[in-house]
Each structure stands twice: as C-alpha cells, then as structure tokens.
C-alpha cells in the first residue's frame, strides 16, 4: 500500500525524463522524475551553499533496468533543465526494506 501511494504522488507531481549511463554501449531509459522540495544537507560545512537540484525517481517508472540500479555519474536528461550529472544517490525504502525509489542529487 505504501508503494502504491508513493507511486501515485510521484506520478501527480512528476514529469517524463530519461536516464543515461555512459559506457560501451550507452544505456538509456525513460523514467519519471519528481522535483524534490526537500532541502536537507543543501548547506555544507562553514555555511557553504551546495548548488544543484534534487529529484525523486520511483523504481517502477524506470522502463529498462540499469545494472546495479542508479549510480554516481549517470545522467538525467530533463526537458526543462537539460542534462545533469548525478552526484549522489540515496535509496528510498519502505518499511520492509524494499526499494521504492531513489533521491538523486544532481549538478
């Protein structure tokens, strides 16, 4: 039930984008990204402001599985903000520990 609610909320607030992993050959898949309004850790040591954007990607919206899920260095191709590089991936788990999605910090 938690997974259904999570997917419903991200579907309402999200938009279509693509994920790309560079390599031989490059992997590309469509997904749904939701802009995150969660600003924890956006201020670093000594009040240094960290620039970038955060998105939530539900695991059910990734159309082609990425080997080992998402990782640092993968790209998000967004129709509004263009191509961004993922610098941090945080797994979002339900109460049983199953992965619902990923919080991605990009630059």
Q: Per residue in 12-68, pLDDT tens?
A: 989 999 999 998 889 999 999 999 876 555 555 666 666 788 999 999 999 888 888
64 located within any domain = no
Residue 88 has a pLDDT of 92
Q: Note down the domain range covering 7.
A: 1-25+82-107
8 located within any domain = yes
Number of domains in the chain: 1
Q: How confident is the model at residue 97 (pLDDT cuts 50, 70, 90)?
A: very high
Going from the C-alpha of 19 to that of each of 40, 41, 78, the distances in angstroms are: 24, 24, 9
- More reliable by pLDDT, 43 or 75: 75
Residue 64 has a pLDDT of 83
70 located within any domain = no
Going from the C-alpha of 32 to that of each of 42, 82, 85, 94, the distances in angstroms are: 23, 15, 16, 19
d(CA 16, CA 23) in angstroms, rounded, equals 23
Contact (CB, 8 A) for 21 and 66: yes
């Amino acid at each position: 039930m938690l997974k259904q609610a999570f997917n419903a909320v991200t579907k309402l607030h999200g938009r279509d984008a693509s994920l790309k992993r560079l390599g031989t050959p490059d992997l590309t898949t469509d997904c749904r990204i939701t802009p995150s309004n969660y600003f924890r850790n956006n201020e670093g040591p000594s009040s240094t402001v960290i620039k970038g954007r955060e998105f939530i990607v539900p695991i059910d919206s990734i159309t082609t599985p990425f080997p080992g899920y998402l990782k640092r260095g993968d790209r998000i191709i967004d129709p509004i903000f263009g191509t961004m590089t993922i610098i941090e991936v945080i797994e979002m788990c339900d109460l049983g520990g199953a992965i619902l999605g990923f919080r991605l910090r990009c630059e």
